[in-house]
Chains A and B, each alone.
Chain A
Amino acid sequence: MVPTDAYVMLSMVLFTLGAMGVLLRRNAILVFMSVELMLNAANLALVAFARRWGGLDGHLFVFFVITVAAAEVAVGLALIVAIFRNKRSINIDELSQMRG
């Protein structure tokens, strides 16, 4: 029986990798994919805890996270497409017009 800690640690590692991806990559789509990675890591942790405590609530939460991630990806990619049409570039360092 794999201890729950191992799953959580694995989840954290993946989460960290995702976070670093968000910070370090300049391609907007790459950033997005890193966000997805973070979500997946969270899902893993959730399922691990669900198994540990015996309740299915964690599974349901993962279900919702997946659904919302799908919605978010749809909208986010639409945004990226729209931005790309305007600026011909998806380098997030160039998208600083929303500065205060």
Chain B
Amino acid sequence: MTEVSLFILVGAISIVAAAMMLLSENAVHSALFLILTMGCIAFMFLLLDAAFLFLVQIVVYAGAIMVLFLFVIMLLGAERVGATPQTRFRWMTPAATGLSLAFLAVIALALAQGQIDRQPVPPSQPLLRAAHFAPDVGPVDVYANGELLAEGLSYGSATRFVTLPPGEYNVALFAAGTQDALLAGAVTLEAGQTGTIIAYPDGTGTALTIIPDDVSTVPERSARLLLFNAYPDAPAVDLVDLGSELAAAPPRVLEAGIPLGGLAPARILPENTDLSTWAFTEADRPAAVLFRLNTPIFDVKRDTTKLLVLARRSAEDAQAFTLPLVSAAQPAFGSPVAVGQLLFTDYMLPMQMVGVLLLVAMIGAIVLTHQPGERRLTRQERRRRVSRPLTSVIAAQTGRDVTKADSNGGSAVELPDTVEEPAGR
């Protein structure tokens, strides 16, 4: 079934269920219809890529709240209460109907005018990070348009992604702690773009380049792999799958000819792909292995974007080295991960407040409905009951003799043996 037909079906069911909820005389029926409506809405959530909310709707709303409703309905015996004839507000039905229809008409008109789907989506903000793979310059400070991006960035490390408004940026590298400009370059950031600025040695010195990163959502259980060559001693490199030691297969070139300062296109790898047989080699020479990716840090974790940068180990050591820059790929839209990420960063305070609210509501509910119930007689009263009737106690305190019938004509006050506190304090 297509999405549209599903939507129409479930939508119709929900409307009907809602209407039945309103019209039903039995309160339990109404509650059940409401549950059905909620289920339909949960399905709608699913259609709308809101997986987490689908779950929450079912568990909390339909599962807890409506159950609570049913509890109360049964407690009050409301299912037995029939519809009483309406004496007041006779005008309510036509008024409500009119009002609702007017409301719907307005909304429909607004929707028609609004053209929601035709509205452009506001783009997301560009992400930027800087990586330092120039072995000769030592730690650097990275400034973008005069603002400090990174301080004391050492060789072989990268900053985190920073959200910047789109525009022209003048990125400058200074030697750490000094005002000596080492490198400077112009960078244009566009919306939705993710970029990494890499300083790498390009044979004659240090060069600055921005490579388009990609941290968008990767398919389920997979990761994205990016390759960058910052090895000055090899003009170009190949990514080769050497195969297992046992199988005598020839090495399979996965990615050929990555030039210095060049980026291999992203490839999606399923989770836990074994990269231990992969290696960087010199271009067209599979035997000249520069680096083998056989350490565990190169394991493919899902929902990640790996940027593998081939570079010298250090300024002195000319050996090739690969550094993985791992950044988490964006989680799937509507996934619990995504919701959690947002909830625990930007919406921390409201979440805590809502938590307190829930606590208060719980306590309030208890307080409102608390009935002390029958109070057992304390030992004193029990004793008193045995040794001295309450009537004589009252007589002593009020001066009125209640043990016998009042001479005025009133009967003696009758007192129960147990004392109940009045209800609904």
Chain A residues within 8 Å of B, Cβ to Cβ: 1-10, 12-14, 16-21, 23-27, 29-30, 32-34, 36-37, 40-41, 43-44, 47-54, 56-57, 59-60, 62-64, 66-75, 77-82, 84-86, 90-91, 93
- List B contacts of A51 (CB < 8 A): 48-50, 333-334
Q: Considering the complex of A and B, which 8 residue pairs feature the smallest CB-CB distances, nearest first?
A: A71-B361, A78-B365, A78-B368, A23-B96, A16-B100, A74-B365, A17-B18, A51-B48
- The contact sample of 21 A-B pairs, CB cut-off 8 A, is A2-B7, A4-B116, A5-B117, A10-B11, A23-B92, A26-B84, A27-B27, A29-B69, A30-B22, A36-B34, A47-B53, A48-B48, A63-B339, A67-B358, A68-B354, A68-B357, A69-B65, A75-B365, A77-B365, A86-B423, A91-B84
Q: Looking across the interface, which residue of chain A has its beta carbon closest to that of B14?
A: A14
Name A74's contact: one of B68, B73, B75, B354 (CB within 8 Å). Answer: B68
Question: Which of A3, A12, A21 lies in contact with B107, CB distance below 8 A?
Answer: A12
Which residue of chain A has the shortest Cβ distance to B358 in the bound complex?
A: A71
Given A5-B111, A47-B53, A59-B334: A19 in contact with B424 (beta carbons within 8 A): no
What's the minimum C-beta distance from B102 to chain A, rounded to whole angstroms?
Answer: 10
Size of B's binding interface in residues, CB under 8 A: 88
In the bound complex, what is the Cα–Cα distance between A72 and B97 (angstroms)?
27
Q: Report the separation of the CA atoms of residues A51 and B15 in the bound assembly, to the nearest whole angstrom.
A: 22
Is chain A's interface secondary structure helix, strand, loop, or mixed overall?
helix
Q: Which one of B37-45, B163-171, B314-322, B391-399 contacts A?
A: B37-45
A17-B47 contact in complex given A71-B357, A85-B424, C-beta closer than 8 Å: no
Cβ of B64 under 8 Å from chain A: yes
Do A93 and B50 contact each other (CB < 8 Å), given the known contacts A2-B7, A40-B41? no
| A20/B96 contact (C-beta < 8 A), A4-B116, A75-B368, A91-B84 known | yes
Contact pick for B3, options A1, A9, A21, CB 8 Å: A1
Chain A residues, Cβ within 8 Å of B66 = 36
Q: Do residues B60 and A70 form an inter-chain contact, with CB atoms below 8 A?
A: yes
In the assembly, what is the distance between CA of A14 and CA of B96, in Å?
14
